[in-house]
Amino acid sequence: MFGVLLLAIMAGFPVAFTLGGVAIIFACIGTGLEIFFWEDLAFVPSRVFGIVQNLTLIAVPLFIMMGITLDQSGLARELLESMQRVLKRVRGGLAISVILVGALLAASTGIVGATVVTMGAIALPTMLKWGYQKEMACGTIAAAGTLGQIIPPSIVLVLLGDLMQVDVAELFMGALLPGILLVILYMLWIGGRIAATPSLAPSPEDMEYDNEEPLWLELSKALFPPLLLMTIVLGSILLGFASPTEASGCGAIGALLISMSKGRLSRKGLGLILKKTVHMTTMVFTILVGAQFFGVVFRGLKGDDVIRSLILDSGIPPGGVLFAVMLLMFIMGFFLDFIEICFILIPVVAPLLIGVLGFNPTWVSILMAINLQTSFLTPPFGFALFYLKGTAPPEIRTADIYRGAIPFVIIQVIALALIWIFPDIVHFLPDLLNEVPSPTP
């Protein structure tokens, strides 16, 4: 089933229908061999309606709407202009500004595609005009855009919470420090690389700024909306005032109010936001429905029992099993999107890793989230690379983008290793905040 599924997806068939179609084919084969019974598919409708009624997954369309609304508001341009003025005396300051703005947008929107496209349209022409090396500029923008995968509120964390049966609020808390760690590693790499090879970035004296507005006023206007939204969404979740689903609703309304306050929310614009939200939400939930068919047939054919017995009988230690899963997920990221990997691989390995081998589900989920983040940067099918190519000037070749992304993939692998070696990076905030008594209603 796995082999046929991967071949069909790489042949270009739609993922959601491939999942369901492969499941039906193997259900027919299993029925013919009398190892599967059609009655088992009776579980699928109840599972599908269970997905639609899942309160946790209601946060997905609301966070998508929040991200698309903020993308339409022009927030990225204002943040980038403000940050590059703050760092204008630092060589490579614009590249570092791109990382910082990517982190702020990740905490505000959580949508990789929107962030990469916006930053590519705004920052890439400016970086090229001022003399940044092509690979450095492309890699920085692509990596900054992927931070939305790990910095909450992140859609992948919501999906992982549901698949791994972990509280989403705890995942959000556990992901904060790993997200900050990645931002610091990115900036250290950029600063160190430019210090070693100054020709990669222009001298601060060669860069000009047209904005004469006082810096404090410009920073206040640019930073206040996203910081306020982050406080409303993340603060209410982390302090226990709201569930992730409730906070996502507040975030969507807050994003609309920010866009209205900037005069950038027309009736036509609202229609476009809702259309994009429905499009992305439908994609996610259609894949979920296909994954239910695949999961029911796979378990009906005793596939999970086969995998469990193979691993347990092999004598591989638990750490080796987890490493093998992470390696498989990393390799799949070269060819598949994070949503596809989530619904193909995780339902199979999660019961083994959590239920049998006893790994902490929050820690494993964060490891998986960072691993899935690399799928956006790994050639040949990294989606962030495609998004950037779509907005890049003609002089940017695909090879420039690929070469620029490779150092940041290595940095993500280093971050993954650090979190594996020092799991307290994940556990520190959840343990700290769980000691604080929740506010009484």
Count of domains observed in the chain:
1
- Expressed as residue numbers, the domain containing 266 is 45-434
| Amino acid identity at 5 | L
* Residue 86 belongs to some domain of the structure: yes
Query: Which residue's entry shows tokens 């799949």?
Result: 332
Q: Across residues 237-259, what is the average pLDDT?
A: 83
Q: pLDDT, tens digit, for every residue of 355-404?
A: 878 899 999 999 999 998 888 888 776 778 877 887 788 888 888 888 88
- Looking at residue 441, its pLDDT comes to 37
CB-CB contact of 438 with 243 (8 Å): no
* Residue 255 belongs to some domain of the structure: yes
Give how far Cα 276 sits from Cα of 72, 145, 271, 289, Å. 11, 19, 9, 20
From CA 281, how far away is CA 283, in angstroms rounded? 5
Q: How many CA atoms lie within 13 A of 96 on its CB side?
A: 23
Buried b / exposed e over 397-436, threshold 16 CB at 10 Å, is: eeebbbbbbebbbebbeebbeebbeebebbbebbeeeeee
CB-CB contact of 103 with 121 (8 Å): no
What lies within 8 Å, CB to CB, of 185 at 6+ separation is: 411, 414, 415
More confident residue, 293 or 426: 426
Query: Which residue's entry shows tokens 């999942």?
Result: 19
* Residue 21 belongs to some domain of the structure: no
Q: 204 preceded by cis ω (within 30°)? A: no
Q: Closest Cα partner for 292 from 41, 53, 39, 56?
A: 41
Most confident listed range (14-18, 86-90, 167-171) = 167-171
**pLDDT tier, 420 (very low <50, low <70, confident <90, very high otherwise):** very high
| Amino acid identity at 435 | E
Other C-beta atoms closer than 10 Å to the C-beta of 335 total 15
From CA 201, how far away is CA 432, in angstroms rounded? 41
Ramachandran category for residue 304: left, alpha or beta (phi over 0 → left; psi -120 to 50 → alpha): alpha
- Looking at residue 390, its pLDDT comes to 75
* Residue 125 belongs to some domain of the structure: yes
More confident residue, 196 or 9: 196
Q: Across residues 61-77, what is the average pLDDT?
A: 78
Q: 244 preceded by cis ω (within 30°)? A: no
- Looking at residue 413, its pLDDT comes to 93
From CA 112, how far away is CA 387, in angstroms rounded? 9
* Residue 11 belongs to some domain of the structure: no
Q: How far apart are the first and last CA of the chain?
A: 49
Q: pLDDT, tens digit, for every residue of 213-222?
A: 666 666 677 7
From CA 273, how far away is CA 64, in angstroms rounded? 10
* Residue 20 belongs to some domain of the structure: no
- Looking at residue 115, its pLDDT comes to 73
Query: Which residue's entry shows tokens 């900037």?
Result: 262
- Looking at residue 126, its pLDDT comes to 78
Q: Across residues 251-257, what is the average pLDDT?
A: 87
Kindly tell me if the per-residue pLDDT of 4 is higher than 80: yes
Kindly tell me if the per-residue pLDDT of 28 is higher than 80: yes
Phi, psi of 242 (to 5 degrees): -145, 150
**pLDDT tier, 208 (very low <50, low <70, confident <90, very high otherwise):** low
Averaged confidence pLDDT in the chain: 81
Rounded (5°) CA angle 116-63-290: 90
* Residue 371 belongs to some domain of the structure: yes
More confident residue, 218 or 317: 317
Q: Closest Cα partner for 146 from 382, 415, 367?
A: 382
**pLDDT tier, 266 (very low <50, low <70, confident <90, very high otherwise):** confident
* Residue 17 belongs to some domain of the structure: no
